[in-house]
Amino acid sequence: MKKLLLICLILLVGCAGKEKEISTDTPEGLYLLAYRDFKEKDYEKASQKFDQIEQQFPYSRWSERAQIMAAYSQYLQNEYTDALLTLDRFLQLHPGNRNVPYALYLRSLSYFEQMSDPMREQEMSAKADSSFKELLARFPKSIYANDAKEKLVAIQNHLAAKELAVGRYYQKNEDYIAAMNRFQAAIKDWPASNQIPEAYYRLAVCYKALGMTKQMGQVRNALRKKFPDSVWNKRADDI
């Protein structure tokens, strides 16, 4: 991931020119000053100067680059809300810009970094899932595609884990219908998740508890067929 971010950084600053006499009266001069702060890892000052370029020189070609660099600086400070606002503004103002794939990627990462424990609210996980999918749909061959696919697997495992955590709670309290709804949702919404074998197993257990032996057998067979080597398949033998 850091390598991909560095590639974009090189593209953004590669045309900035040499550090000759720098003037804040020009967008290029202000950009160079902002980049100097960035190189020194003073991301707060850098993001402020990059924002200043957009405010003072909104129609300059440097403004587009500055927006992306401002968002990256904010991301590196873990200021994800600010980064997302900057990126959304960039995407709205410059839908045809060559850096749109990177903006979508950085936006997705900003959501991804805010994902919480599976037992907590999963709004950021859902937004990260949607954002990475948009990136892949619009730019399937971008340099960010492979990492986006890997992140999507992790996100879907996370979201499925949330469903199972709630389902286990209902199952423990013998609210089998509510538990089954959660297990079925995980299977339906996140079929590629690593949580699915357990979802099948617990669904079969719930069917047994309700005396629904036919449905239990169907789920048990599905688990055996789809995940023959899973520990949950072996545990299902004891149902």
DSSP sequence for 102-130: HHHHHHHHHHHTT---TTS--HHHHHHHH
Q: What are phi and psi of 233, to 5 degrees?
A: -65, -40
Looking at residue 4, its pLDDT comes to: 55
Is this model's pTM higher than 0.85 or not?
A: no
Q: Per-residue pLDDT tens, the chain, 239 aa: give them.
A: 554 554 455 455 544 445 455 666 788 889 999 999 999 999 999 999 999 998 999 888 899 999 999 999 999 999 999 999 999 999 999 999 999 999 999 999 999 999 876 666 789 999 999 999 999 999 999 999 999 999 999 999 999 999 999 999 999 999 999 999 999 999 999 998 999 999 999 999 999 999 999 999 999 999 999 999 999 998 988 87
The rounded distance, in Å, linking the Cα atoms of 130 and 222 is 29
Q: Are 96 and 74 in contact (CB under 8 A)?
A: no
149-171 burial, b for 16+ CB within 10 Å, e for fewer?
Answer: eebbeebbbbbbbbbbebbeebb
- Identity of the residue numbered 89: R
SS3 137: helix
Looking at residue 238, its pLDDT comes to: 81
* CA angle 127–131–133, rounded 5-degree value: 120
